[in-house]
Structure 1
């Protein structure tokens, strides 16, 4: 068993303006360095953490002046228990940086990499970056991308920047645009899909997101970019950030995304693999823009070589009449 020591008893902390707006679970993960996420959620569930004298949920956002009771916990001392990124990730993520300043970081997230660990995933973007940047005082995801989606991912480097970004997201002042390849020839022109969504609908043992009348509001705007006989490349912008929103809305109107094992068409996906070499979801967050503290930030991420190759093959097939 690795040696472990207790922290120095119960602590009572006053939340400063620097940490206002931050989620409690994220605050505790940094405050109790080395504590696994399971331990953080266990002490919260048991009521050992108190906010202003009362029990509190992990997602509660802290306010300046809040009083927080943090119980003593036992933390492992051995350095070799710390998470170490697999070989090659330092170089890969450094090459993926699209934009960085003292407040924000924008990455071109690779497809297949989750944004955080959980549900059988040992690590994600945030765990890798924190391990690769041990002296970074603050680093938080400002929004999320599906594991299989590539492209622009925004992270905050200060609590103040995180609050500003979250407020901009809530009020629709962040513009996120995606490139999506969908099944069939798109003859709708620009089209809005305004259909409410509900997540965690259980069907056949699988948890899904579905269009339902009493779901949460969700609005996606589609615009055609390139049209082929077999498939169409669309630009999608989202006015809301629901889980799997673009994928579900596209499937709902009869144009599921290429390579979408959850909501797509299996026969179409096999054809795309055989003819065009597509082996992943074709959904890419290609641009992101927002105003932050009076300055405008606009970042774009090009399609990777695999997705470009898929489009090249579609163009060749169209020219040859196949």
Structure 2
């Protein structure tokens, strides 16, 4: 057994921090501390705002002074509290994947196989790695998520105001995202969009087209046709779990190397061209910058494995 010890902190709340619940604020301040401990110190009154006790639902305001008490917890030696440190080479590699950064936000070209955050048995994710790369950053939060095996553009807010601004754009569907996907067979040139409601199974997280599901729309454009495959551009209008993957499967054209919704025959075919991962890549995103209010467009190139595979498909 070993211990994690934190020091007492006095945090002056500014406009950018204001508006969040105190429990969420503490979870950002005490990154390696379990939620149960955070709620316990709140119940005991060890957390003070302006020298007064507060409940978990209290929303901090600009000008508040928050006392974050010292915390000591025991952890198993075979489960280190900061697992990112055991993946330093992977963390360092993410530095070269940053395609844009300023005072408001950071944009990552996330590699396939890297989860956006830790959990479900995973030691760490992209957000934990970015926090390790930017230890001086007071705030780093995911704006949205993409699947672990999907590569491409991932927005990360460096200010709470930027997070609110960008998430509002997602809710209002003003952000445009474009993915590249290699799908099985010949995509119908007349199929420009798929409108099919999606329902997620809460037990196994499998998503299916179901009349009882949530309205879902994805727009498609053919980029390149091959003998037994098609490279399509997919633009999700709604943001459902596994939306693109399920919509193409529903149309009879699953994505190469999709372990949930794919076709092993197509995987065997594409492996001849060197493909060994899900061929789904978030290549382009358009949004309004949360600080300047100017329109922005960012692009992320395909990795070398997928580019080489496309070259071999063209030759074939």
TM-score (norm 1): 0.82
1:2 matched to 2:2: yes
1:214 matched to 2:212: yes
SS in 2 for 1:224: strand
CA contact (8 A) 1:85 1:131 kept: no
Q: 2: CA distance between counterparts of 1:31 and 1:312? A: 47
Root-mean-square deviation (Å)? 3.4
Q: 1:209 to 1:46 in 2, by over 3 A?
A: farther
Deviations 1:92-116 (A, max 9, x none): 1111111111111111100000000
Give the deviation of 1:173 after TM superposition: 1.4
Q: 1: CA distance between counterparts of 2:36 and 2:3? A: 23
Partner of 2:310: 311
Deviations 1:165-210 (A, max 9, x none): 01111001111100001000112345211112122355xxx43011
Give the deviation of 1:297 after TM superposition: 1.7
Q: 1:24 to 1:85 in 2, by over 3 A?
A: farther
Deviations 1:235-268 (A, max 9, x none): 0001111111100111011111111010011121
* Superposed counterparts of 1:101-140, under 5 Å: 101-140=102-141
Q: 1:200 to 1:225 in 2, by over 3 A?
A: same
Q: 2: CA distance between counterparts of 1:72 and 1:262? A: 45
* Superposed counterparts of 1:5-154, under 5 Å: 17-20=15-18, 22=20, 26-35=24-33, 39-41=34-36, 44=39, 48=43, 64=61, 74-76=71-73, 81-82=81-82, 83-84=84-85, 86-154=87-155
Q: 1:282 aligns with which of 275, 279, 284?
A: 279
Q: 1: CA distance between counterparts of 2:161 and 2:44? A: 24
Residues matched between the structures, number: 303
In the alignment, structure 1 segments of 5+ residues that lack a partner are 318-322
1:238 matched to 2:239: no
Tell me which moved more, 17-26 or 180-189. 17-26
CA contact (8 A) 2:13 2:66 kept: no
Partner of 2:258: 260
Q: 2: CA distance between counterparts of 1:289 and 1:132? A: 26
CA contact (8 A) 2:43 2:55 kept: no
TM-score (norm 2): 0.83
In the alignment, structure 2 segments of 5+ residues that lack a partner are 46-52
SS in 1 for 2:234: strand
Q: 2: CA distance between counterparts of 1:55 and 1:6? A: 20
